[in-house]
Amino acid sequence: MCTSVFQIGQQDGSHVLARTMDWPRLGAEPVFVPRKFHWHSVYDDKEYVSKYAVLGSGGQHKRRIDVSDGVNEHGLVVQKLTFTNGSELTEEPTDGRVHLAPFELSYYLLANFKSVNEIIDHIEEIELMADKHSLMKYGHSELHFAAADKTGRIVVIEPVTHPIEVIENPLGIVTNSNHFERQISRLEKYVEFTPAFENGTVPLNAPRVTTGSYSGKMTPPGSYSPGSRFVRAAYLKERIDLPSNEDEAFDNCWHILDSVNVPKSLDHRPTFSVYRAAACCESRSYYYQTYHQKSVTKITLDDEMIQQNHPIFFDIDDKLDFKIVK
């Protein structure tokens, strides 16, 4: 369970992609991974060497690195989100392809590509593998991915076909349900799409894809199911005031995510929003807030950090913090 939201600053042109991470426990903290970082896939222990520096959330596990979401030095932002009964993983590897465990794709994309267009150009080279022949068993890992860059292009990457499918997403919302087009179709009960959206001709950086007319439409549902969160986030994203700059774009994302942030209720569901994060393509700033924190940590992948040659792990306390006024 996760929700992803995209916002565009109308004056400074900033692009901010944010998400909740819904999981049974907090297992990822901010991490910087340098250029030329050597890591091994859990599928076949093949070694890879990263091209680009990355800042995001994740951790290092023996000889591999795991990044759930982040931004690289070229402003590409990628997130991985859980996926409900949708993944079609490859069982028999094809010679000459890159073979990865599904959860390794987010870091692989960030470490190797500068833009969404580059991802699309190379996606056929990648196979997400079932664990039939893997050196370490990891089960049927159900994930899909969101990616955005400085051009304003945003896509959903779904391993539902061979090769992996890439879907344009000018709506800028992703949750966990499979068949993205089906989620869009269901949304028509709550909003009225523009003709450009209906025709697949939405220009890059269009701030909204609905007409603003809600007459006769249904009210968004209030549950935390993937479908309900998709509708609620999209509905609010289309109605919230447009942001002017990065700060306002981040603020908008946080307010929209407030509506889908899953509270801890272990007697009723195993997962909750253990953290939420956002990244800006232009400034390469990364925003991170754990479940218990009320302040937001901001880290920037600046030129000085990019020159570092070793990973940096940022220790963030998941606890309440108060501003005391006397």
Question: Furthest-apart CA pair in the chain: how many Å?
Answer: 67
Structure-block tokens of residue 144: 């899909």
Whether pLDDT at 142 is above 90 = no
Is the per-residue pLDDT at 53 higher than 90? yes
pLDDT band at 151 (very low <50, low <70, confident <90, very high): very high
Work out the average pLDDT over 177-204. Answer: 92
Average pLDDT, the chain: 94
Length of the chain: 326
- Which pLDDT value is given to residue 84? 75
Rounded to whole angstroms, how far apart are CA atoms 58 and 252?
24
Determine which of 41-50, 144-153, 173-182 has the lowest per-residue pLDDT on average. 173-182
Q: Which helix (H) or strand (E) holds 81?
A: strand 77-82
Who's near 75: CB < 8 A, 6+ residues apart?
149, 150, 281, 282, 284
CA 116 to chain centre: 13
Token digits of residue 310: 């070793």
Among the ranges given (26-30, 74-78, 265-269), the one the predictor scored with the smallest mean pLDDT: 265-269
What is the arithmetic mean of pLDDT over 125-154?
A: 93
* In the predicted structure, residue 63 carries a pLDDT above the cut 90: no
